[in-house]
Amino acid sequence: MTLRHALVYGWCLLGCQSTPSAKPVERDLPPGVAARVGTSDIRSETVARIAVAQAVAPAAARERAVFDALTALEAQRVLSPSRTHAGERGAHARALLESLRRGAEAKGPPLEAEIDELLAERWLELDRPESVRVVHAVVLLPADGKKDAAQKLALELKRDLASIHDGAEFLKRAKAFPKNQLEVRAEGLPAFTREGRGWKTGVNGTEPAGSFDQTFARAAHALREPGTQSELVETRFGFHVILLEERIPEQRLSRDEARRILWPDVVTRRANRERVALVERLEQQSRIEVSRNFEALTAGLEPGP
């Protein structure tokens, strides 16, 4: 196995987005040597192959080669000769990454805290609470911060909109309402949870859509039936009238389903944490040098497609 192949495998194995940042020392190295880890040289041709294969800039390719060399050194130290193939630096690194992953699996089923952490990050996909979709009209607070005039106009707007139960008609009427030198904004909003976490469904599927004022979000969720309106709602932006268009049921996994689906992610996260800690330790133990001539060595090298 070549260095490049092992490096690609290792990155896929742990699901990493980027390499840890090494702390190199710049110095003059022999011709064609882009970096050195301990006594192990990383040649510019190796950096070029990684850059093209993984479509990254030369500096990022060099960091990945340094990571591979660091883990290879550790693999030679901790793994048995049967697990490491002499002279194969990439194979050594791969063997160590596999060892980290097995160690992560051996820690047993996901802990509740690990499940909670991942569900909090992937709530939209796996643990989405009940949501609402609304339209609203707001009389914005004037620049001077005096809200009496804004509140008075908002009450008039509320009375004008009181008989409307359709979102499109609500927006049309609100946009035509006399503004009396104040700013009135009327708009439809993406779905959002009671906590104010917004989301929408687009061409790429369901995705986050910002966050909303919590006072506004709670008032919107207090509306039970589509077509009903809120009383006047005051937020830091102004005075709102909200019309509920849709209540969207929650979409949650059972705890057992979450544990089953998230198990691979838990293993990856455990292994990645061990990898980061390992590399930090190896960076302290190993001298990392990069060529002062690195940019010249890689001049004209372009990332792959």
| Confidence at residue 80, expressed as pLDDT on a 0 to 100 scale | 54
Instruction: Specify the pLDDT at position 302.
Output: 58
Q: CA–CA separation, 222 vs 224, rounded Å? A: 6
Nearest to 117 by CA among 260, 271, 17, 266: 266
Phi-psi region of 80 (alpha: psi -120 to 50; beta: other; left: phi over 0): beta
User: Scanning the structure block, which residue is given the tokens 């710049």?
Assistant: 26
Fold of 130-249: Chitinase A; domain 3 (3.10.50)
Higher-confidence residue of 206 and 15: namely 206
42 sits in the region (left: phi over 0; alpha: psi -120 to 50; else beta) called beta
Name the more confident of 71 and 277. 277
Question: Are 181 and 170 in contact, with CB atoms under 8 Å apart?
Answer: no
Q: Which helix (H) or strand (E) holds 151?
A: helix 148-161
pLDDT at residue 303, as a whole number: 53
Q: How many whole angstroms separate alpha carbon 6 and alpha carbon 93? A: 7
User: What is the rounded average pLDDT of the residues 138-144?
Assistant: 92
Mean pLDDT of the region 6-30: 51
Q: What percent of the chain has pLDDT over 70?
A: 83
How high is the mean pLDDT of the chain? 83
Rounded distance between C-alpha atoms, residue 284 and residue 1, angstroms: 28
What pLDDT sits at residue 15?
36
As a whole number of angstroms, the distance between CA 29 and CA 133 comes to: 62
With a cut of 60, say whether residue 19 has pLDDT above it. no
Count Cβ neighbours within 10 Å for each residue of 12-25 and write b for 16 or more, e otherwise: ebbebeebbebebe
Positions of CATH 3.10.50.40 in the chain: 130-249
Q: Which residues contact 261 (CB under 8 A, 6 or more apart)?
A: 126, 253
User: Average of pLDDT values for 277-303?
Assistant: 74
Six token digits for residue 274:
């061990």
**Count of beta carbons in the 10 Å neighbourhood of residue 112:** 9
* pLDDT score of 289 more than 60: yes
Q: Which of 92, 107, 132 is nearest to 246 (CA)?
A: 132
Is 71 exposed, middle or buried, given 0-12, 13-18 or 19+ CB atoms closer than 10 A?
buried
Q: Which two tokens stand for residue 138?
A: 């707001």
Phi, psi (rounded to 5 degrees) for 211: -135, 160
Q: Are strands 251-252 and 127-128 parallel, antiparallel or unpaired?
A: antiparallel
Report, in angstroms and rounded to the nearest whole number, the Rg of the chain calculated over CA atoms.
29
Question: Around Cβ 149, how many Cβ atoms within 10 Å?
Answer: 15
